[in-house]
Amino acid sequence: MNLRRTLAMARKEILHIIRDPRSLIAAFSQPLLMLLIFGYALSLDVDRIPTIVYDLDQTPLSDSLIKSFRGSRYFNIVEEAHGYNPIDRAIDMRTALLAVVVPTDYSRNLLEGREAQVQLLLDGSDSNTAAIAQGYAEGLIQTFAQQTRENAQSMRTGSVMRLPVEARVRVWYNTDLVSRNFIVPGLIGVIIMIIASLLTSLTVAREWENGTMEQLLSTPVRPVEIAMGKLAAYFLLGLADMGVALAVALFVFDVPLKGSPTLLFVSSCIFIFGALGWGIFISASQRNQLAAYQLGTLTSFLPAFLLSGFIYSIDNMPVIIRAIALFVPARYYIEIIKGVFLKGTGLRLLWFNLVLLTAYGALVFYWATNKLKKKVA
């Protein structure tokens, strides 16, 4: 490979990028918009659950229970019903996700030490949110019942009833359980995979459509120099996109960076190289920009979004899907970036992911170069 010819190819691509301001603006604005939209709109936090209450007991104790729901940030009391018909209507119209029904004997059973039941009615059409809401409601009801019985026993005997086991929970890393801290780092990996693949998936196909590829092939430039020159130019653009994404994550969403910035930078460079190499391979495989764009979107966006562990846990997927996910490079990069951001994980635990990303980058670059050789022939 001749360095002079490679640099000339890179200079040619840089000039082409600069002379196409619309593509340049899209290359910077698209990741920024995706990060802002997904970062603000996509949230796994479940709070302010629309709740309707139906108090059949009508006692100070049942009123205190309802006030506990009002005082919790997880629930938003939208209506106090006086029958089951309003509850059915509210759940059917999706104005309420949860209904809390306090039976007539709730206070008496609770104070006398018997089983005191509270009915919870949930909209199961959104099963994940309903399960979380159920857990929040059950925890609040149990805590309220325990405190009420402790107070009653203290008034009767002067002693406080203690549980035989007291759970003391400590959350590591994302201590406030903010879903944004989990989503944004993974979203960076997804965006870089999409943008990098799409940036280069059109470059060779555009040369064929414009008729400039034949002129390029008449020069002494070799296929490996074409691939490396194009990749080098878009690599700089990919690093700029990466810088924009990191700046938004750190200064807009306040995601903590607990690990090594050097490790994050090195792993990002390796990942960008592999993603760009995949885009060149696709572009070299297609002589039509539309086909190259569609194939690039299909092979970058869907696997990176669905099979990388960005949102959906890979361990909960069927065996066949888990096997397919082993070949998704974004999976290994997202593990690195989440480990560096949230846990401060170092190279000692992440070296294997880096090896896999390096092997992926070398493999797709070889495929792209080989595909260009075949196109030349």
Is 170 part of any domain?
no
Q: 280 and 231 in contact (C-beta within 8 Å)? A: yes
| Residues 92 and 220 both lie in one domain | no
Question: Rounded mean pLDDT of 101-125?
Answer: 86
User: Which one of 157, 188, 221 terminates a domain?
Assistant: 157
Report whether pLDDT(375) > 60.
Answer: no
Quick one: 327 exposed, middle or buried, by C-beta within 10 A (0-12, 13-18, 19+)?
A: exposed
Same domain? 212 vs 341: yes
Do 231 and 82 have their domain in common?
A: no
- What is the overall mean pLDDT for the chain? 82
State mean pLDDT over 155-169: 64
* 134 and 86 within one domain: yes
Tell me the per-residue pLDDT of 62-94, one tens digit each, with 9 for 90 and over: 889 899 988 888 899 988 888 889 899 988 888
pLDDT of residue 52: 92
Q: Are residues 148 and 205 in the same domain?
A: no
Average pLDDT over residues 142-154: 78
* Domain of residue 255, residue span: 3-43+178-376
Residue 162 included in any domain: no
Decide if 292 is inside a domain. Answer: yes
- The answer to whether position 188 is within a domain reads yes
State how many domains the chain has: 2
d(CA 28, CA 40): 19
Residue 257 included in any domain: yes
Cβ–Cβ under 8 Å, residues 330 and 193: yes
**What is residue 153's predicted lDDT score, i.e. its pLDDT?**
67
Q: pLDDT tens digit string along 252-290?
A: 888 888 889 999 999 999 999 988 888 888 887 777 777
Is the pLDDT confidence value at 376 over 70? Answer: no
Domain endpoint, select from 157, 188, 216: 157
Q: Do 194 and 338 belong together in one domain?
A: yes
The pLDDT value recorded for residue 101 is 92
| Whether residue 298 sits in one domain with residue 246 | yes
CB distance 226 to 311 below 8 Å? no
Identify the weakest region by mean pLDDT among 15-19, 123-127, 135-139: 15-19
Average pLDDT over residues 238-243: 86
β-bridge mates for residue 122, sequence order: 98
Q: Pick the more confident residue, 367 or 113.
A: 367
Q: Answer whether residue 173 is part of any domain.
A: no
Contact indicator for 242, 268 with CB cutoff of 8 Å = yes
Secondary structure in 3-state letters for 81-140: CCCHHHHHHHHHCCCCCEEEEECCCHHHHHHCCCCCCCEEEECCCCHHHHHHHHHHHHHH
* Confidence band, pLDDT 50/70/90 cuts, at residue 313: confident
- Express each pLDDT in 351-364 by its tens digit: 999 999 999 999 98
| 27-75 residue pLDDT tens | 778 788 888 887 777 766 677 889 999 988 888 888 898 999 888 888 9
What confidence score (pLDDT) does residue 159 get?
Answer: 58
Whether residue 215 is found in the same domain as residue 357:
yes
* Same domain, yes or no: 191 and 338: yes
pLDDT by residue (tens digit) across 180-225?
788 888 888 888 888 877 777 777 777 776 666 666 666 777 778 7
Has residue 168 been placed in a domain? no
Does a structural domain hold residue 172?
no
Name the most confidently modeled range: 164-173, 238-247, 285-294.
238-247
Structure-block tokens of residue 47:
């709070």
Kindly state whether residues 220 and 342 are assigned to the same domain.
yes
Q: What is the pTM of this model?
A: 0.77
266 and 365 share one domain: yes
**Do 199 and 347 sit in the same domain of this protein?**
yes
| Residue 105 belongs to domain with CATH number | 3.40.1710.10
